[in-house]
Amino acid sequence: MEENNDQKLSMNQIYEQVTTLLVKENKSIHEVREYLLELGLTEEGSQTIIGNVAKQIDKVREAKSNKDIMYGLLWGGGRGASNLD
């Protein structure tokens, strides 16, 4: 059981590093794939991790975009209503 916890921690670290590389360091998917292959992951494993991280990044960006749109509509709606006088 302890071995599984170590493996999960290692996978969590890999996912965190991939996220950092893609988001903060603006690395390409190709560069991240090469990094994962150098760590000893298989091609399939690296593609899976990159795909999972990319989906999460897209979800976060979409949520932020929706939030920005909502605030824009509220702000614009409030200004528009005050201009009706």
pLDDT of the residue at 21: 96
- Per the structure block, which two tokens stand in for 47? 């593609």
In the chain, which stretches have pLDDT less than 50?
Answer: 1-3, 81-82, 85
pLDDT of the residue at 78: 55
Distances (CA, A) of 6 to 13, 46, 57: 11, 19, 25
- Per the structure block, which two tokens stand in for 54? 């990319």
Element (H, E) at 5: helix 2-19
Residues making up the chain, counted from first to last = 85
pTM of the model: 0.67
